[in-house]
Structure 1
Amino acid sequence: MVMKFLLLPWKPELVFTGTSIMGINPETQKFCSHVDFWDSIKENEYFSLEGFLDVLKQLRIYKTPDLESPKYQILKRTSDYEVRKYASFLVVETKGDKLSGSAGFNDVTGYIFGKNSTMEKIPMTTPVFTQAPDAELSTISIQIVLPSEKDLDNLPAPNKETVTVRKVEGGTVAAVRFSGRPTEDIVLEKEKSLRSALLRDGLKPKEGCLLARYNDPGRTWAFLMRNEVLIWLEEFTLD
């Protein structure tokens, strides 16, 4: 279940996944009890302090720009991460230097600002991804997501040979969100902690990871920034 908390100006989303157990009165055939068990807490008693703190945690402010993002469905939310099902999306990408770096950013933004074969200007989206395919960070790519109404057949060709446009197939990922400046050390520590939590819970993370950055670092206070580390999963089934 996803719901917006409208009492706060930034309207944070509250996400709850788990199991609901409904009791039925055998005489009246009507529901007589309802108990929810959240995936994000262990203490599921009525008025659970842990549950209250979990709600407070989700009320914190993140500044997410009002721009199009890749579509996804939240399958499960634990205390450590979300499991999401992403639809396929298109990206324009080029070579980067490190997960937290900006090398290549001007080349991919140049493509959407009109430096392409038809000089077409393409609307900006969010987030900016940087991707590493393996733990050694042997190669890094920087990517901007393209609007969902686009497809590979109606996109202009890049002017630079180092810039490419490709389709990212949909799939299941685990994601952890955090604020602040996403330095390389912080990103790698978040990736390590996320991977450890996934292995602990019996999931099968693939090699590599992505960093998603949603904000302009020159115009956003660090404590408002929305950043995410994502790891693709081999497979996922709901319990």
Structure 2
Amino acid sequence: MRTVALLALAGAASALRSAPRPSARAISRGALRPRPSALGATVDSAEIEAVLEREYASFFDPMEEKYYEDNVEFVDPFISISGVPSYKNNVDMLAGRTALGAFLFQDAGIALHGIERPSMGKLRTRWTLRVQAKFIPWQPIARFTGVSDYTLSLGGKVVKQVDYWDSVNLAESDDGSEEYVEMSKGAALKDFFDQLMNKEKPPGVASQELPYELLRRTQEYEVRRYPALLAAETKYDTRPEGFDRLGSYCGGSNEKSQKVRPFAPSVISSDEAADEKVMRWPISFAAPGQPAPTGGAPPPGSVMPSVGIAPVPEVVVAVRRFDSAATQPAVKYHTQQLKEGLRKTGLAPAEDAEGRLLFAQYDAIFSLSKRNEVWVPLAEGHPWDA
């Protein structure tokens, strides 16, 4: 199967007429902001921003070709092409609108998180792309996050687009800025191939997991936006005690004597200064952008004084996964590693994240499998701040 996957990918790359990439060099945020020139000084990008919003929402169906120069260049970690027909064929293949694309992919989509104006004649979009590989029996879903840098011509059209993947091009920076570096095609191919070979189901497929919006995926961490929710919560001394109480509530020890099916994961907060530990099981969640769940019956109240129902606001968190036991030393270690990684890639933890550990457990407390995560809320002003 690996051979089949590689042959299919090689065929796709050939069909896309990939070209040699330049040698690796750092592309810092500053480097992507050339001084305004006569070319870009008179360009009004508002119209192009509206075009990009429409195209991202429809996954370029249609691609509004009149807003692209005939010799438009497109470069990403995989390919380098030029010309409107090649550009359009690239998108149509990924969307399954070509013969090769219909064989390889399905359910492709891209979410636009925002548009920035680094300088005159320049635009930067932030996005999340997902596509399902239908030619592999387990049909894995590949997800990419990153930025696209657009250069506009004097006529106000797109003349160049350069894509950077967070999982390939985002590099650690000593000064804590967001910095992208060019990498070989092999690095991009490996990232894609590793996702194709992953048989783990995405959230919401394998079990009842709390949904989230993926904002950034790197090799070391992810950034996710979780919706506002209602959770059953309890303060506890030992973790089995917390699981037992919340399990009793969901098993029927509530005002309606009914079973409640919680969402994974169990979210545990430990405040070292206050010597307080709280376990929460999500019960219901709000629609994106809404402050609280609406519709449906509210969760039943608890008959146990130690268990309550609490609202939890929408939050953007950085996440680092680890597959060992969630002991306090392990949680502290991975939290510190995550915070260091955030600072080196232009992100900052929220102020109230200091002195507080936040982690998530997906498996039963005595399960042999260990899927655990540490979470760090981000400070305001991050790139996805609404």
With normalisation by structure 2, the TM-score equals 0.51
Deviation at 1:229, TM superposition (A): 1.0
Paired with 1:128 and 1:3, the residues of 2 have a C-alpha distance of 29
Find the aligned partners of 2:345 and 2:150 in 1 and give their Cα distance. Answer: 27
- Of 202, 215, 235 in structure 1, the residue corresponding to residue 363 of structure 2 is 215
The root-mean-square deviation of aligned C-alpha atoms, in Å, is 3.3
User: Is 2:331 the counterpart of 1:193?
Assistant: no
Which of 303, 309, 321 is the matching residue for 1:159? 303
How far apart, CA to CA, are the structure 2 residues paired with 1:122 and 1:189?
34
Uncovered stretches (5+) of structure 1, i.e. residues with no partner: none
Secondary structure, aligned partner of 1:54: helix
State the Cα distance separating 1:13 from its structure 2 match.
3.6
8 Å CA contact retained: 1:75, 1:84: yes
| Aligned equivalent of 2:328, options 184, 194, 200 | 184
1:117 lines up with 2:255 in the alignment: yes
Q: Matches of 1:130 and 1:218 in 2, distance apart?
A: 16
Q: Is the 8 A contact 1:84 1:174 kept in 2?
A: yes
Counterpart amino acid of residue 41 in structure 1? V
Per chain length, whose mean CA-contact separation is higher, i.e. which structure has more relative contact order (CA < 8 Å, sep 6+)? Answer: 1
1:216-231 map, 5 Å: 216=364, 218=366, 221-222=368-369, 225-231=370-376
Going from structure 1 to structure 2, the CA distance change for 1:7 and 1:198 (only over 3 Å counts) comes to same
Offset of residue 232 of structure 1: 0.9
- Determine if contact 1:44/1:51 at 8 Å carries over to the other structure: no
Choose from 51, 68, 84 the match for 2:224: 84
SS of the aligned residue for 2:268 comes to strand
Match of 1:235 in 2: 380
Q: Number of aligned pairs? A: 230
- In the TM superposition, what whole-angstrom CA distance separates every residue of 1:56-103 from its partner, at most 9, and x where no partner exists? 4444454667333333211222232111112101110111336xx333
- Taking a change above 3 Å as real, the CA distance of residues 9 and 197 of structure 1, as seen in their structure-2 partners, is same
CA gap 1:74/1:162 in 2 versus in 1, 3 angstroms: same
- Deviation of 1:198 after TM superposition, in Å, equals 1.5
In structure 2, relative to structure 1, the CA distance for the partners of 1:89 and 1:97 (3 Å cut) is same
Flag the 1:53–1:126 CA change in 2: closer, same or farther, 3 A.
Answer: same
Q: What residue is the counterpart of 1:140 in the other structure?
A: 277
Quote the Cα distance in structure 2 between the aligned partners of 1:137 and 1:13: 42
Deviations 1:10-64 (A, max 9, x none): 55442211123568999xx8x897642112223545x622223333444445466
Greater C-alpha Rg: 2
CA separation in 1, counterparts of 2:255 and 2:280? 19
Letter in 2 for 1:3: V
What is the match of residue 14 of structure 1? 142
Q: Return 5+ residue gaps in structure 2 as ranges.
A: 1-128, 170-180, 287-292
8 A Cα contact 1:172 1:235, kept in partner: no
Query: Any idea what SS the aligned residue of 1:50 has?
Result: helix
SS in 1 for 2:213: strand
Distance 1:183 1:55 in 2: 32
The letter for the 1-side match of 2:251 is: F
Give the TM-score normalised by the residue count of structure 1.
Answer: 0.79
SS of match in other structure, 1:166: strand
